Amino acid sequence: DTGVSQDPRHKITKRGQNVTFRCDPISEHNRLYWYRQTLGQGPEFLTYFQNEAQLEKSRLLSDRFSAERPKGSFSTLEIQRTEQGDSAMYLCASSFRGSGANVLTFGAGSRLTVL
Amino acid sequence: GQQLNQSPQSMFIQEGEDVSMNCTSSSIFNTWLWYKQDPGEGPVLLIALYKAGELTSNGRLTAQFGITRKDSFLNISASIPSDVGIYFCAGFPGGSYIPTFGRGTSLIVHP
């Protein structure tokens, strides 16, 4: 059981730099989610994929953010021209469309610190 | 967007005490999920609820899907130090595949 893998676990960058996070979902899961979590808050939805199609994006996902899932397997979340307000934990989750649906399995997260 | 009110925000209890926390929504949800998150880690699923009135247990944890479909509660019996963490409720609005999360209940258990 490999679970959901996220890389890197921690990233420290300077304001204005670009960063990219990778998520490897559970292999048979066709749904993939990105959430952002700041201290003292619950996860906030960013975007959702079903297979390779990006079906929904939150208003939180500004034009500096882009997410892809090119072959319906792993996904990347890129943040361009990072700002201090981007500092947060970025969580990836996956689920299976079928019985027991709507149960999201989360990765350990990628913590971003923008200096 | 959907709003989930989770309470209490934090709890400080003695080992062995029972704990209760709840979530309420302004609209109807089709599924409720309860997660626990340890510091620096992602949330881990505790219990999933799919039907109004459903009562489900997982060891010392019990959760219920409210009859109105607008609320859910989680109880932890006989708390132990490893119960420390942040507990989140999450709900799926009707027809949506995207869960909304509460702000969490931080639980501290004193030995």
Residue A60 to chain B, least CA–CA distance (Å): 12
Residue A100 has pLDDT above 80, yes or no: no
pLDDT band, very low/low/confident/very high, at B95 (cuts 50, 70, 90): confident
Whether residues A91 and B42 touch (CB distance < 8 A) is answered with: yes
Select from A91, A102, A106 the residue whose CB has the most chain B CBs within 10 Å, as the one to mutate to test that interface.
A102
Residue A24 has pLDDT above 60, yes or no: yes
Residues within 8 A of B (CB atoms), A 59-88 only:
none
Higher pLDDT, A21 or B40: A21
Neighbouring C-alpha atoms within 13 Å toward the C-beta of A89: 22
If you write DSSP's letter for every residue of A74-105 in order, what string do you get?
A: -EEEEE-S--GGG-EEEEEEEE-SSTTTT--E
Select from A32, A104, A106 the residue whose CB has the most chain B CBs within 10 Å, as the one to mutate to test that interface.
A104
Q: Compute φ and ψ for B45, nearest 5 degrees.
A: -65, 135
Contacts of A100 in chain B (CB under 8 A): 48
List pLDDT tens digits, range A48-61. Answer: 999 999 999 998 88
Distance in angstroms (rounded) separating the CA atoms of residues A35 and A33: 7
Residue B3 has pLDDT above 80, yes or no: no
Distance in angstroms (rounded) separating the CA atoms of residues B32 and B25: 11
Task: With residue B39 as reference, give the H or E element that holds it.
Answer: none
With CA atoms as reference, the chain A residue closest to B4 would be: A42
Distance in angstroms (rounded) separating the CA atoms of residues A95 and B55: 23
Coil, helix or strand at residue B82: helix
Chain A with chain B: Cβ pairs closer than 8 A: 61
Whether residues A42 and B99 touch (CB distance < 8 A) is answered with: no
Q: What is each CA distance from B44 to A76, B33, B53, in whole angstroms?
A: 22, 10, 23
pLDDT band, very low/low/confident/very high, at B72 (cuts 50, 70, 90): very high
Which residue has tokens 């062995």?
A: B16
With CA atoms as reference, the chain A residue closest to B104 would be: A42
Structure tokens of A17?
Answer: 């730099």
Contacts of B35 in chain A (CB under 8 A): 106
Following CA atoms B47, A59, A108, A15 in sequence, which dihedral angle do they give, to the nearest 10 degrees? Answer: -160
Residue B2 has pLDDT above 80, yes or no: no
Please give the pLDDT value at position A2: 76
First to last CA, chain B: 40
- Alpha-carbon Rg for chain B in angstroms: 13
Please give the pLDDT value at position A99: 57
Q: Which candidate, B64, B102, B79, B101, places its Cα nearest to that of B11?
A: B79
Query: For the residues B34-48, what does the mean pLDDT come to?
Result: 96
With CA atoms as reference, the chain A residue closest to B31 would be: A102
Query: Does residue A56 belong to the interface with chain B, where contact is any CB pair within 8 Å?
Result: yes
Query: For the residues B20-40, what does the mean pLDDT come to?
Result: 94
